[in-house]
Amino acid sequence: MFDFAGKSVFIAGGTSGINLGIAHSFAEAGASMFVISRNPDKVAAAVEELRGHGGKAEGASADVRDFDAVKASLEAAHAAFGEIDVLISGAAGNFPARALDISSNGFRAVLEIDTLGTHHVMTAAWPYLRKPGASVINISAPQGLLAMTGQVHVCAAKAGVDMITRTLAMEWGPEGVRLNSVVPGPIEETEGMKRLAPSKAASDAIVEGVPLRRIGQKRDVANLCMYLGSEFASYVTGAVIPVDGGWSLTLSGTRLDSLLAMTDRPG
């Protein structure tokens, strides 16, 4: 469906989970891939996998909380593949905890990975984006839209990510750069699903709450990202788009008490 031959795609957090699934889809479509994450072993493994699609792939170990490291990785991507056509920021941190049980360090860590990390990727990438024509995609989460018990830190962080998307869509639009947020819902074989639905009963309950009556696949998220990265979405910017089978339509807020019950309250 999509042809990204001759295009350069950079994915922060692109060595595991949903982000790696996105990377595979772009690689299959012919893009030159550059991925980063903190773990050098994961970077090496992801690059080898992506090269298996027959195209070019490189990577670097970088923590999105470290602006200089992010900047260096983007310089390397530009040196390898030229101007960046599609930039995806997907690094994230999460753990279940009630607000009164989260330490200052724990709250700060999630904000620094998600919100500050997104800011670092966006601003460090600016000199290397194709202008006009670049598409920037931030991988958000339902917590940016929906209040969830045990997730106050993530709710705050992801709401910040979505506002970065919308604000920069306004600031960068005149240069021909588009920004959008993608909001995955329940997606199979991800760390989020393992935590949200640790049992078959929990998984079945989630499926029952999804209007399309299935758990999503990584390919579902990747397809939306490829659309947003393509010329077919040339007039789409500043959008925060769920890819969740309608799951968020059924929720005004989510109580994760069953999940929290599996964690120990300190003290």
Instruction: Provide the number of structural domains found in the chain.
Output: 1
Angle ∠(22,157,247) on CA atoms, nearest 5: 60
Residue 220 lies in a domain: yes
Chain centroid to CA 192: how far? 12
Domain extent for 229: 8-260
Range 128-143 burial, b when 16+ CB lie within 10 A, else e: bbbeebbbbbbbbbbb
pLDDT band at 265 (very low <50, low <70, confident <90, very high): very low
User: In degrees rounded to 5, what are phi and psi of residue 141?
Assistant: -160, 160
Residue 72 lies in a domain: yes
pLDDT digits (tens, 9 = 90+) for 124-149: 999 999 999 999 999 999 889 888 88
How confident is the model at residue 97, as a pLDDT?
Answer: 85
Residue 266 lies in a domain: no
Residue 244 lies in a domain: yes
Extended strands (E) in 4-70? 8-12, 32-37, 57-61
Residue 267 lies in a domain: no
Q: Are 164 and 119 in contact (CB under 8 A)?
A: yes
Range 180-200 burial, b when 16+ CB lie within 10 A, else e: bbbbbbbbeebebbeebbeee
Find the CATH number of the domain harbouring 192. Answer: 3.40.50.720
Determine the Cα–Cα distance for residues 50 and 36; give it in Å rounded to an integer: 13
Residue with tokens 């709250």: 107
Residue 235 lies in a domain: yes
How confident is the model at residue 264, as a pLDDT?
Answer: 47
How confident is the model at residue 148, as a pLDDT?
Answer: 86
Residue 131 lies in a domain: yes
Residue 173 lies in a domain: yes
How confident is the model at residue 211, as a pLDDT?
Answer: 93
The predicted model scores a pTM of 0.91
pLDDT digits (tens, 9 = 90+) for 152-198: 999 999 999 999 999 999 999 999 999 999 999 999 888 777 777 77
